[in-house]
Structure 1
């Protein structure tokens, strides 16, 4: 394996501050009800589960995450705002992948005695997420910093999600990750002049891990009839779709410089990722959002503008209490726009699938 020369790390306190800082857009660490997870009845999807388990055992990407000679050399020519935008992207991606690793690893450990097959599946997914996080962390070292992942493990606040919520959200996280990676990869295939760092060469195979993980969670979700055959599941499906899409829109526009240096229009990229993810979710969820409704992206973009205004307020030198007062009406406005989107008539995905058949 070819690796680049060691780079100096950020001061540890600085790295910890950057890694631990919490806001609504920061990837979080999750825990769940392990006893309930171990008792999930997968019998209705047993064949599909075995197919996915064998696929994971095959480990098609076992030789993929190896740095080659293209990583040799200096990256000092990437400077200023572009450099910081890319480092921010690497940091967020690394934390997100590492969060998945910790959740899957803990699920595997807790389910080992009660549900060996499901335990093995989570162990294999943890393997993939560890590779992703390690590869991203190594990329960060090329830019003079690394994530203190051991510190993150011990000091991050863990958010409890019922296993039902985990199935919805992880499915969406993996599928939206697939579309982000593959859209960037295909764009750079057409515009190699914008490929400023070799990490992007790995995105095609990388996104297949995301897609495979999403398919696994689709199997788990469809094994639980209450998650797709009830009126409550229709409400939850659209809720989690909206949560993931709103976070994506705010994040993309907050870090628009990264996409611009790739030659991508942030707004167009965001819309394509959301549309493709919504179409994909219609294969697993009972109801999805109507992304073609004129209000959908209009209100999401208003939320993004308001979020940028809040970021400006937060970066000011005003006292904290004044910042909170100034941000409150903006936060309420964002909440209002999201509620209006949620109340738009959804699309019956079950009916769509029946029509196709």
Structure 2
């Protein structure tokens, strides 16, 4: 495995305000979609399930959860070196991801309005949760004398257009993989409290339930649209988004191996458990899922990790840009080839799996 060099000191926009992480294929992105198409969705086939999920969101179980207690009132200067840098990176990317969700959900709620009142309310409630998450994470960054100017990020960040069906697939997976990421860290630190070096981790158990409820909403939305689960195209798209999310997660986890090591987790095993559990959860929503038990599944994803570290090394080199581009091309092709082989492996028929359960 190629090792990543030590992280440089964070760049500042101004005193205490960090320059946002450079946009890449792996960093959290901001999205826009076809709001009119979402407003016209017929969700009547899942009306009862939708109302039940929205009622869960209305209950707002975590209304009083995101309050900073006395555990935060201390200096964190003793957390230094790679642990500090890796944790700040974790906080920033998580904050940006949550804020991205807030912006998308808030705009969906505003655009749907009276045209689809129940969906508009659901998106507004989820935007509430995402705003709390982002704000709490940004306050955590301030404990390390840094924060993000989220208003500035909103103006400067580029927005990616995703069709509604892509939004449904990807956000469902984002929320469900978020649940497994947080809950597995919670379980681990419950068994090893000596590795809980910062009080944020104590909030993960309830936090991940927000992610789970959001995922449940998108599951209902997905199952209300037969074109998203009842066709051969849907099976191809489902596998594509699963692979995209799992590849991104794998590469990101290995990039942050220092962070996971700091809380006593092995990055490789943690990634495997997150991916396996998320893939299993997706059986309840998607028409097909990936075979994570295939002997080549994780080795191929981890080859992409090696190629990614080599790409990062090229970026950090002093070579001219055109030389860097030439050096990167075979690595991009190698990543594409490994992912294609994973994609073409025989999938698991999720509809058949659900039939076995029932």
TM-score range normalised by the length of the shorter chain: over 0.9
| Structure 1 residue matching 2:115: 3-state secondary structure | coil
1:177-256 equivalent positions in 2, closer than 5 A = 177-256=178-257
Coordinate RMSD, CA, aligned: 1.3
The yes-or-no answer on 1:144 pairing with 2:145 is yes
Tell me, yes or no, if the aligned pair for 1:10 and 1:144 is still in contact at 8 Å. Answer: no
Return the TM-score normalized by structure 1.
0.96
Task: Return the offset for 1:13.
Answer: 5.7
Unpaired stretches in structure 1, ≥5 consecutive residues = 1-8
Show the counterpart of 1:6: none
Distance 2:256 2:322 in 1: 26
Show the counterpart of 2:320: 319
Show the counterpart of 1:330: 331
Show the counterpart of 2:56: 55
Distance 1:55 1:156 in 2: 32
Task: Return the offset for 1:18.
Answer: 3.6
After superposing the two structures, state which structure 1 stretch, 320-329 or 152-161, moved more: 320-329
Show the counterpart of 2:266: 265
Distance 1:60 1:324 in 2: 50
| Structure 1 residue matching 2:77: 3-state secondary structure | coil
Unpaired stretches in structure 2, ≥5 consecutive residues = 1-9
Task: Return the offset for 1:315.
Answer: 1.3
Task: Return the offset for 1:333.
Answer: 0.2
Distance 2:241 2:27 in 1: 16
Show the counterpart of 2:283: 282
Distance 2:357 2:112 in 1: 38
Task: Return the offset for 1:113.
Answer: 2.1
Distance 2:336 2:330 in 1: 10
The yes-or-no answer on 1:117 pairing with 2:118 is yes
Show the counterpart of 2:91: 90
Task: Return the offset for 1:256.
Answer: 0.7
Show the counterpart of 1:305: 306
| Structure 2 residue matching 1:154: 3-state secondary structure | helix
| Structure 1 residue matching 2:296: 3-state secondary structure | helix
Task: Return the offset for 1:19.
Answer: 1.2
Aligned residue pairs total: 349
Show the counterpart of 1:5: none
Return the TM-score normalized by structure 2.
0.95
The runs of 4+ residues in structure 1 deviating greater than 4 Å are 13-17
